[in-house]
Amino acid sequence: MEPFDLREIKVLPLQSRQSLTKVEAITLDPTASPKEIPAAQLDVIRQCARKIAQAREQGKSVILIYGAHLIRNGASRILQQLIDKNYLTHLATNGAGTIHDWEYAYLGVSTEDVAANVHEGCFGTWDETGRHIHTALYAGTAQGLGYGAALGDYILQDGATISDPAALESEIFARPEAPETVARFELLSAIRRGELRPGRAKVEHPWKSFSLLAHARKRNVPLTVHPGIGYDIISNHPMFNGAVIGRAATIDFRLFCASVMGLDDGVVLSIGSAIMGPQVFEKSLSCVNNVRRQRGKEVVHGHTIYVVDLQDSGNWNWEKGEPPKDNPAYYLRFCKSYSRMGGKMQYLQCDNAAFVHHLYQQLIG
């Protein structure tokens, strides 16, 4: 069987898509009154705010892991404020979280009718989204940047500079052992294929003030991206290159591990990430504990994990540990994996944007 040829895909202008959300309409005002929630949920949020405040007073890490719906639900400005007020030390998301972020920054709209567009064969086949995100990653990884930093820079700087082929060849042959060499070769190959042109790749981002990627980059707070190959709509593009995406994500996984290394007595917030969050966190924690043990140090300890999602918890009290395998709750990955990660895990069934809005207001008093 021959692999499918993605070069045959016909892409369409992003402006021709009937987008379902406008960033200016969905964005929540951090100073406005949050959506009302039950008193029991608010009690947990108050506890969470105290934990975060205590962690930051002691210089401990607070890591936010989030799914794409947190951006789609308009929480970007609230998260920007949490960065500015030094409550978040690291953010992590999946590929979809960055796609909504970039589309909002570029065109002010995002989201499409998945069922209808898959039937028509146009779901995700939007030229600018696939082309510009790939361009950002090609340019960024050639400079040693990960996914989040590369795309954040691309939004902040309204594009990127694509190196001259002769300069790339010189760098490749001068230092073949350099970490960026393979990325530079990939960039050179893309230029040779005609996918990219040397010089300034300029694209305006009129709504960049709404971008969490750009804001985190500007504030020098790491925002790492943990995508899957074939997970995101940038796969539906003739430029799709899993090697470039994987290389950028590898850098970001290492950065995420570096933040987990300093998590003792810190806080993890996993909001609306049922698969990526728990999967990436458990691997990173194992890597960190492996190295710590080799150095004769304690494993990561004293951390608190708050997991927030709309799904129920399977009618199980996760503070007692995980349920037996014959209980359906055992298969709730977003609860089970985090419950195994040491420290203390608490699950809260709550609207994700309402959670961060109430959390912000509790933190600022």
User: Per-residue pLDDT tens for 308-319?
Assistant: 999 888 888 888
Percentage above 70 pLDDT, the chain? 100
Identify the pLDDT of residue 321: 82
Domain count, the chain: 1
Identify the pLDDT of residue 334: 87
Residues 165-170, mean pLDDT to the nearest whole number = 96
Identify the pLDDT of residue 225: 98
Report yes or no on 17 lying in a domain.
Answer: no
Residues 323-333, mean pLDDT to the nearest whole number = 88
Identify the pLDDT of residue 166: 96
CA 127-129-130 angle, to 5 degrees, is 70
pLDDT digits (tens, 9 = 90+) for 100-113: 999 999 999 999 99
Q: Is the pLDDT of residue 322 over 90?
A: no
Report yes or no on 13 lying in a domain.
Answer: no
- Output DSSP code: residue 256: H
Core vs surface per residue 166-178: b (16+ CB within 10 A) or e: eebeebbeeeeee
Residues 75-85, mean pLDDT to the nearest whole number = 98
Mean pLDDT in the chain?
96
Identify the pLDDT of residue 319: 80
- The residues facing 22 across adjacent strands are 109
Question: What is the residue whose two structure tokens read 């820079």?
Answer: 153
| 86: containing domain | 27-364
Identify the pLDDT of residue 221: 98
Report yes or no on 3 lying in a domain.
Answer: no
Report yes or no on 14 lying in a domain.
Answer: no
Identify the pLDDT of residue 318: 83
Identify the pLDDT of residue 285: 98
**16: pLDDT confidence band, cut at 50, 70 and 90?**
very high
**150: pLDDT confidence band, cut at 50, 70 and 90?**
very high
Identify the pLDDT of residue 165: 97
Q: Is the pLDDT of residue 163 over 90?
A: yes
Report yes or no on 344 lying in a domain.
Answer: yes
Report yes or no on 257 lying in a domain.
Answer: yes
Task: State how far the alpha carbon of 318 is from the alpha carbons of 49, 66, 162, 322, 329, in Å.
Answer: 20, 21, 50, 6, 10
What span, in angstroms and rounded, lies between the C-alpha atoms of 301 and 310? 28
CA 320-46-216 angle, to 5 degrees, is 100
Percentage above 90 pLDDT, the chain? 93
> Across the chain, how many H-helices and E-strands are there?
15, 10
Residue 113, burial from CB neighbour count under 10 angstroms (0-12, 13-18, 19+): middle
Identify the pLDDT of residue 11: 97
Residues 23-30, mean pLDDT to the nearest whole number = 97
- Residue 202 dihedral angles phi and psi, to the nearest 5°: -105, 130
Residues 69-86, mean pLDDT to the nearest whole number = 97
Q: Indicate the angle between helix axes 127-141 and 95-107, nearest 10 degrees.
A: 110
Identify the pLDDT of residue 333: 86
Identify the pLDDT of residue 224: 98
Q: Is the pLDDT of residue 300 over 90?
A: yes
Is pTM beyond 0.85 here? yes
Report yes or no on 38 lying in a domain.
Answer: yes
Report yes or no on 321 lying in a domain.
Answer: yes
**Domain CATH code at residue 341:** 3.40.50.10690
Residues 63-87, mean pLDDT to the nearest whole number = 97
Identify the pLDDT of residue 19: 97
Contacts of 61 (CB under 8 A, 6+ apart): 55, 89, 90, 259, 260, 262, 263, 266, 267
Identify the pLDDT of residue 365: 81
Residues 193-203, mean pLDDT to the nearest whole number = 96
